[in-house]
Chains A and B, each alone.
Chain A
Amino acid sequence: MTDTSALQYTAEHEWVLVEGSIATVGITAYAAEKLGDVVFVELPEVGSTVAGGTVVGEIESTKSVGELFAPVNGTVTATNDAVVNSPELVNSDPFGEGWLIKVEFDTLPTLLTFAEYSALVGE
């Protein structure tokens, strides 16, 4: 079980796990719940450069489309093929097997703490 209180967050309902210079990114359980049954995930190519705050992918459900924002400037080092093949992982395990991309960054911007994000979604 992922310790969600140890993660950092964005206002776009993404979580960020920082390990050294690598940020692992996914969407929160709150976002997955709001989207409903996820049916398709489009992720950036490994090796591509991303700019923090820009749209780099899409998470599509039967009723809506969520955009994946890069939380940091950097280079994509890995994407989760398991999620591309089984998009339902985003619903079943958003903080674990439902991770989306890993980004190597130089500097980490200020992100939301667990307490701040919890306040944002009113939980």
Chain B
Amino acid sequence: MSHAFAQRHIGTTGDAQSHMLATLGYASVDDLVSAAMPASIHADLFRQDGDSALPPAATENEAVAELRALAGRNTVKRSMIGQGYYDTFTPAVIKRNVFENPSWYTAYTPYQPEISQGRLEALINFQTMIADLTGLTTANASMLDESTAVVEGMLLALRASKSGSRRFIVDTDAFPQTHALLLNRAAALDIELARVDLSEQTTAADLGDYFGVFVQYPAASGRIWNPQNVIELAHEHKALAVVAADLLALTLLKSPGDLGADVAVGTSQRFGVPMGFGGPHAGYMAVRRGLERQLPGRLVGVSVDAAGHPAYRLALQVREQHIRRDKATSNICTAQVLLAVMAGMYAVYHGPQGLRAIATRVQERAGALVAALRAIDVDVLTDAFFDTVQINVPAGAAEVVAKASASGYNLRQVDENTISVSVDETTTLADLSYVVGAFGGRSAFGHVDFDAVQHGLPAELDRTSEFLTHPVFNTHRSETSMMRYLKRLADYDYALDRGMIPLGSCTMKLNAASEMEAVSWPEFAGIHPFAPLADVEGYLHLVRQLETWLTDVTGYDSVSLQPNAGSQGELAGLLAIRGYHQSNGESDRTVCLIPSSAHGTNAASAALAGMRVVVVACDELGNVDLADLHAKIAEHAENLAALMITYPSTHGVYEHEVATICKAVHEAGGQVYVDGANLNALLGFARYGDFGGDVSHLNLHKTFCIPHGGGGPGVGPVAAKAHLAPFLPGHPLAQSDEHYLLGEGGASASVIHAGGPVSAAPYGSPSILPISWAYVRMMGIDGLKQATGAAVLAANYVAKRLENDYPLLYSGENGLVAHECILDLRPLTAATGVSVDDVAKRLVDYGFHSPTMSFPVAGTLMVEPTESEDLGEIDRFCEAMIAIKAEADAVAAGRWPADDNPLHNAPHTAQCVIEGEWERPYDRATAVYPLASLVRNKYWPPVRRIDNAYGDRNLVCACPPPEAFE
């Protein structure tokens, strides 16, 4: 008899839960949740038991078999569609040791740098690779995809340009998905877009007034042209030049930096990351010197630790939305770390010569194709090219594309006369012979003569500058060396495969192996995002099912899976609200009310949706201050667009008045946006749509088991009521714009999502959707409810066990919390001088990842155990926290000096306790083995506490020379 999956997913057994419930004084988990959650929002009020559209839970084997069947309904053809997505060989050593390795994929964003040195090094490799190839000084640690990176480039240009203009010029030969995103995002911000053919002789007079200019290099058609003149004109006009560049082409072509560009953007997909029907992949952005502080997203920098050794950590964090809120450089938080790590490692493994060899082969294959086509008098339009050419077939494009398709090749039909063909590192001469065959050039014996090669690279743009000269890119050529490098970096880090990561608001639950299975199957991994409808039937079926299930568990009517991060889901939801108000002739509704307790991303997203943020106060219990809410609604009634509220609140409490709050907003003509970051406290027990939400984003990488990947990928679907559904994100290149809509009496109906796109690909990051699909399929509605109950039980148990040592900052009804609890360390700090940092770093010595520090309240720790941890691990954590409190008391009692004690000096490396004379007032065992159990199971941090200020004052965001580590 196999176990039900829910028993594998949920860490606490029946006996353990009984013990925890007895500690809290409740008879059952249902009783506990009922006592914690307001009765007015309980799902029982709104639907009958058994109304759920979710199928009964499948076993792991059954779910994987169903996914196999869905995969079988996709058709993997050889893709030559291009447009920013190319087939690639993922080196098996990277696939096995990174992509499929929980040490990499279950890690969190490296906010605790001392226990994240492995992925921080991998990310600084990525940044160095991007900076080198683009010829610019500083690159960030990934964007969500190429098109959103272009949008961020436009916004950066707007911030940094002193032109005073709000007009952005886009070259006509850019990817269509990028242009569609620019249109959508510019419209919300009152930016005027102008499309100009910049490759023609351009003069200043042609261009008018503008703050920035965008060119694709090589261009979307495959054509290579020199944008230097355009860049110089932009600079004369105090405008910035943003160039989207193909990384593989840049190994052969003059870099954007050498051409004078201010910003380079693009994707690193073709560096070993499968196409995955559109994602996830890591986009990139690099900037010239002087623009570092304008960079959106996460940036890794070098600093020093307490011993003066070099150490990595996130740099310039104050640019980001958790500090700057609506003034942040972007709303992006979660990026694409796992995929950036893979792309960086692809460059580490191949090195500069290897990458050049791959690029040269791609270019030669493209050249062979051109020569073979010209030999049979086919009209190839592109003379200067890297990997993509356009071909003129008067009135015959559809026929040639159909012939190629019948042979198993997807070409791109540009219009009725034009075809585009892209070559990549996987393309063989045999592949090319079939392509030539589709144009009628293949003999009956299948022979095509490829002796001639048309050279495509213009000499004036030959790359002469070096790249990837750092030893890390010139060392790991053997698989043994590469495997050991990946293992060494993984060993530096603390991920879920070592122990609990009790990060409040992050939901670090199990990412089950069976959920991961399908991700690397070729039928999911090997599909181009713009493949024809007939090829993606399995994918579309999976998408439709997941849309249906997610609407069912949230109480909404339709879901868009397109947003590829929570931040993008927020933006999509707010843009839907904006579209709705505009369609009602109420364009003046632009005020977005946001409680002061909200995550900073809310405010950043609202600003990007063209809304004005008005902050609503919170009371001393952490709840929305109702008097202030009513006052703000009254003050802005005419202009009220929306309220953004997180539920349960960011304080980890089920706010009692949430239904009242939603009603007040509706009565004033506003829409209610419920941030779904904390959905893990609600699933199965209550639904946003029932108690007043109009739209929400969900974080599939929190509640629905997509692994955090060390800081991405994320998926942030947006779910909405029917009246907002037509304004959810659509996509001009979508295979189908019809989406699930909950119809009358629960029937399955359809709606067209007609809003503008927010992601480069129509379904965002589809290759990881099988993870969430499998989770819901294997849990069923009852399993999801059990998981919520176990999560709420664990959080309340931790709060109870620690109540004598760390006061609970906020609680709701009956003194209970939801799925996380905030421990107030401020009294401890006041009494002992021991800070939140000291406790967080000391937890490393005890073998734990710290809870969330100083969010949402400075001087506190927020603990979220999730349902996946077992009682033994939860108790181990509580005991570590209690032991640390005793150490702090010893500092207060004067046993140890305030500036020389195990907390102040934490974390302790092996080196610091072994080398030299030991002169601390505590012994070495106290430093590194504060509990006897650690002797056999010790996590050793590779560095001591890191100096953040040093790194921000001396900004270095590329690999330091090896001598630095001597």
Asked if B12 is an interface residue, CB under 8 A from chain A, the answer is no
Instruction: Assess whether B949 is in contact with A39, with CB atoms less than 8 Å apart.
Output: yes
Would you call A118 an interface residue if the criterion is a C-beta within 8 Å of the partner chain's C-beta atoms?
A: no
B327's nearest neighbour on chain A, judged by CB, is: A65
Name A58's closest neighbour in chain B (CB-CB): B293
CB under 8 Å from chain A, chain B span 305-342: 316-318, 323-324
Which A36-81 residues have a C-beta within 8 angstroms of B?
37, 39-40, 42, 60-65
A60 proximity list for chain B (CB < 8 A): 293, 318, 952
CB pair A65–B949 under 8 Å, yes or no, is no
Q: Does A87 contact B (CB under 8 A)?
A: yes
Pick the residue among A63, A64, A88 that contacts B953 (CB under 8 A).
A88
Q: Flag if B948 contacts A64 (CB, 8 Å).
A: no
- Given the interface pairs A62-B318, A63-B318, the reply to whether A39 lies near B952 with Cβ below 8 Å is yes
Q: Contact check, B317 vs A62: say whether CB atoms are below 8 A apart.
A: yes
Interface residues of B in 273-326 (CB under 8 A from A): 293, 316-318, 323-324
- List B contacts of A39 (CB < 8 A): 949, 952-953
Interface size class on chain B is 10 to 19
Instruction: Specify which of B317, B323, B324, B949 is in contact with A37 (CB 8 Å cutoff).
Output: B949
Interface size on A, residues (CB 8 A): 13
In the complex, the answer to whether B293 meets A63 with C-beta atoms within 8 Å is no
Bound together, the chains give a CA A87 to CA B950 distance in angstroms of: 11
Q: Are A65 and B953 in contact (CB under 8 A)?
A: no
Contacts of A65 in B (CB 8 A): 318, 323-324
Q: A37-B948, A40-B293 are in contact. Are A61 and B953 (CB under 8 A)?
A: no
A65 and B600 CA atoms in complex are apart in Å by: 14
Q: In the complex, how many angstroms separate the beta carbon of B612 from the nearest chain A beta carbon?
A: 18
Per the bound structure, the CA–CA distance linking A39 and B324 in Å amounts to 16
Chain B residue nearest to A39 (CB atoms) is B952
* Across-interface contacts of B323 in A (CB, < 8 A): 63-65
| Bound complex: CA A63 to CA B953 (Å) | 13
CA A64 to CA B949, docked complex, whole Å: 12
- The residues of B that contact A40 with a CB separation of less than 8 Å are 293, 316, 952-953
Residue interface mask B580-618, A partner, CB < 8 A = 1? 000000000000000000000000000000000000000
Instruction: Report chain B residues within 8 Å CB of A37.
Output: 948-949, 952
Chain A residues lying within 8 Å of B953, measured Cβ to Cβ, are 39-40, 86-88
Q: Which residue of B lies closest to A60 (CB)?
A: B318
CB distance from B860 to the nearest CB of A (A): 15
Residue contact B952 to A62, C-beta cutoff 8 Å: yes
Least distance between A7 CB and chain B CB atoms (Å): 27
Shortest CB-to-CB span from A24 to chain B, Å, is: 24
Tell me the nearest residue of chain B to A65, going by C-beta.
B318
Q: How far is the CB of A78 from chain B (nearest CB, A)?
A: 21
Nearest B residue (CB) for A91:
B949
Contact for A61 among B293, B318, B324, CB less than 8 A: B318
Cα–Cα distance between A2 and B390 once the two chains are bound (Å): 72
- Which of B293, B316, B318, B952 lies in contact with A64, CB distance below 8 A? B318
How long is the Cα–Cα vector from A39 to B953 in the complex, in angstroms? 5
Bound CA span A104–B497, Å: 62
CA distance A62 to B317 in the complex (A): 7
CA distance A113 to B323 in the complex (A): 31
B848 to chain A, nearest CB (A): 23
B298 to chain A, nearest CB (A): 15
Bound CA span A37–B324, Å: 17
Considering the chains assembled together, what is the distance between the CA atoms of A40 and B317 in angstroms? 12
Cβ of B318: which chain A residues have Cβ within 8 Å of it? Answer: 60-65
Residues on B with beta carbons closer than 8 Å to the beta carbon of A63: 317-318, 323
What separation, in Å, do the CA atoms of A119 and B360 have in the docked complex? Answer: 71
* Residues on the A chain within 8 Å of B948, using CB: 37, 62
The CA of A40 and the CA of B318, in the complex, are separated in Å by: 11
In the complex, chain A residues whose CB is within 8 Å of the CB of B316: 40
What CA separation (Å) do A62 and B949 show in the bound complex?
Answer: 6
Q: CA of A65 to CA of B317 in the docked complex: distance in angstroms?
A: 10
Q: Which residue in chain A gives the minimum CB-CB distance to B324?
A: A65
- Give A73 to B146 CA distance when docked, in angstroms: 44
Which residues 70-123 of A have a CB within 8 angstroms of B? 86-88
Q: What residues of chain B lie closer than 8 Å to A61, measured between beta carbons?
A: 318, 949
Please indicate the chain B residues that have their CB under 8 angstroms from the CB of A86 in the complex: 953
Please name all residues of chain B whose beta carbon is closer than 8 Å to the beta carbon of A88 when the two chains form the complex.
Answer: 949, 953
In the complex, which residues of chain A have a beta carbon less than 8 angstroms from the beta carbon of B952?
A: 37, 39-40, 60, 62
* Bound CA–CA A65/B948 (angstroms): 15
Q: How far is the CB of B18 from chain A (nearest CB, A)?
A: 43
How far apart sit A75 and B949, CA to CA, in the bound complex (Å)? 32
User: Which residues on B sit within 8 Å (CB–CB) of A64?
Assistant: 318, 323
CA–CA, A64 and B324, complex, Å: 8
Which residues on the A side are within 8 Å of B293 (C-beta)? 40, 42, 60
| Proximity string of chain A (19-48) to chain B, C-beta cutoff 8 Å, 1 when within and 0 when not | 000000000000000000101101000000
The complex places the Cα of A37 from the Cα of B317 at a distance, in Å, of 13
Chain B residues with CB under 8 A of A42: 293
In the complex, A64 Cα to B948 Cα: how many Å? Answer: 13
Q: CA–CA, A63 to B853, complex, Å? A: 12
How far is B854's CA from A63's CA once the two chains are assembled, in angstroms? 11
Shortest distance between the CB of B900 and any CB in chain A (Å): 21
A49–chain B nearest beta-carbon distance, Å:
14
Inter-chain CA distance A76–B711, complex, in Å, is 43
B367 to chain A, nearest CB (A): 49
Min distance, Cβ A72 to any Cβ of chain B, angstroms: 24
**Nearest chain B residue, comparing its CB with the CB of A42:** B293
C-alpha spacing A65/B953, complex, angstroms? 14
Most A-side CB within 10 Å, residue of B293, B316, B317, B949: B949
CA distance A103 to B425 in the complex (A): 60
Q: How many angstroms from the CA of A94 to the CA of B949 in the assembled complex?
A: 17
Question: With A and B bound together, what is the CA distance between A65 and B328 in angstroms?
Answer: 11
Closest to B292 in A: A40
**Closest residue on chain B to residue A67 by CB atoms:** B327
Chain A proximity of B905: nearest CB distance (Å): 19
Assembly CA distance A37 to B949 (angstroms): 6
Q: Which residue of A lies closest to B858 (CB)?
A: A63
Q: Choose among A39, A60, A87, A88 the residue with the greatest number of B CB atoms under 10 Å from its CB.
A: A39
Contact flags (1/0) for B927-966 with A, using CB distance below 8 Å? 0000000000000000000001100110000000000000
Name the residue on B nearest A88 (C-beta).
B953
Report the Cα distance A39→B292, complex, angstroms. Answer: 14
| Residues of A contacting B324 in the complex (Cβ-Cβ under 8 angstroms) | 65
- Bound-complex Cα distance A39 to B952 (A): 6
- B369-427 at interface with A (beta carbon < 8 Å): none
Docked CA distance A42–B324 (Å):
16
How distant is B226 from chain A, measured CB to nearest CB, in Å? 33
A56: shortest Cβ distance to chain B, in Å?
14
Q: In whole angstroms, how far apart are the Cα atoms of A103 and B324 in the complex?
A: 28
Rounded to whole angstroms, the CA-CA distance of A65 and B316 in the bound complex is: 11
| Residue among B317, B323, B953 facing the most chain A CB atoms (10 A cut-off) | B953
A87 to B316, CA, bound (A): 14
Residue of A nearest to B293 (CB): A40
**B317: chain A residues within 8 A (beta carbon):** 62-63
Q: How far is the CA of A88 from the CA of B323 in the complex (A)?
A: 20
Complex CA–CA separation, A78 to B317 (angstroms): 29
In the complex, which residues 823-867 of chain B have their Cβ closer than 8 Å to any Cβ of chain A?
none
User: From B952, which residue of chain A is reached at the shortest CB distance?
Assistant: A39
Return B294 CB to nearest CB of chain A, in Å. Answer: 11
Shortest CB distance B110–A (Å): 16
Cα-based distance from A121 to B511 in the complex (angstroms): 50
Q: List 20 A-B contacts (CB under 8 A).
A: A37-B948, A39-B949, A40-B293, A40-B952, A40-B953, A60-B293, A60-B318, A60-B952, A61-B318, A61-B949, A62-B318, A62-B952, A63-B317, A63-B318, A64-B318, A64-B323, A65-B318, A65-B324, A87-B953, A88-B953
Extra pairs beyond A37-B948, A40-B316 (18, CB < 8 Å): A37-B949, A37-B952, A39-B949, A39-B952, A40-B293, A60-B293, A60-B952, A61-B318, A62-B317, A62-B318, A62-B948, A63-B317, A63-B323, A65-B318, A65-B323, A65-B324, A86-B953, A88-B953
Nearest 4 CB-CB pairings of A with B: A37-B949, A39-B952, A62-B948, A39-B953
Interface residues of A (CB under 8 A from B): 37, 39-40, 42, 60-65, 86-88
